[in-house]
Amino acid sequence: MICKKEWNQFFSSITAYVALVIFLLLNGLFLFVFPDSSMLNFGYATLSPFFDFVPWVLLFLIPTITMRSFADEYKTGTFELLKTWPVKPSRLVLGKFFGAMLIILAALLPTLVYAFSLQYLSSSGGLDVGATIGSYIGLLLLCGVFVSIGIAASSFTNNTVVAFIAGAFVCFMLYAGFDALSRLPVFSGTLDYYIEMLGINFHYQSVSRGVIDTRDLVYFFVMNSFFMFITQKNVINK
């Protein structure tokens, strides 16, 4: 019920459709039109540019989707109504999470056209199916962490703009911040590898190679659980 509510709430405004259209348009322009990044100019079939580029777009798209999750409930007073429902806080948080994930899936589903197009246009070999499937799995795991971060940020405030900025900032820091920190000369040759392992990008790239490592799955599970736990605590204390 909560999941369905999130879906209907998101698609009840024109902003939702504009956000999804811009997401697909940016990907299309970057991957097929702009000459410096067009996959058609690579000379071989690969979706690597897409999987390298799309997390940066999702850094802004997902906080846009999740910023209203709890902030709007607080602002409009419907959160008090939600608390009267016979729904445990954990189920309320999970409903919000899966509702946002369904929206993300709706945004990512059309991108499968890129894979089929490259496979059809390829004169020999085609796509590396294993790596492509692994990359999509990695992308879904990354989206799960971004969604849990966005919902956690929304649970702290009744201001959607603040929720968006906080969610986008934390997503950025966890995705790229540890990579940048590991490259500092002071950590070179000592802690750089371990610092890089704390970031989402390290594990996302690992899964994208087509090899599902238990350590990567544990990382994404722990990150999701941590932010969902924070959200649940905020919901209980409101």
Pick the closest to residue 66 from 141, 177, 162 (CA basis).
162
Q: Which residue has the higher pLDDT, 35 or 4?
A: 4
Q: pLDDT tens across 50-105, in order? A: 888 899 989 989 998 898 888 888 888 888 777 777 778 888 899 999 999 999 99
DSSP 173: I
pLDDT digits (tens, 9 = 90+) for 105-131: 988 998 888 888 777 776 666 677 778
Q: Would the pLDDT of 20 be above 90?
A: no
The answer to whether the beta carbons of residues 4 and 99 sit under 8 Å apart is yes
Residue 189 has pLDDT above 80, yes or no: no
**Can you read off the two tokens belonging to residue 187?**
């950590």
Is 0.85 surpassed by the pTM of this model? Answer: yes
Q: Could you tell me which residues come within 8 angstroms of residue 109 by beta carbon, excluding any fewer than 6 positions away?
A: none
146: which 2 tokens? 């971004």
For the stretch 43-65, pLDDT in tens is 666 778 888 889 998 998 999 88
Structure tokens at 140: 């879904």
Q: Which residues of 65-93 are buried (b: 16+ CB within 10 A; e: fewer)?
A: bbbbbbbbbbeeeebeebeeeeeebeebb
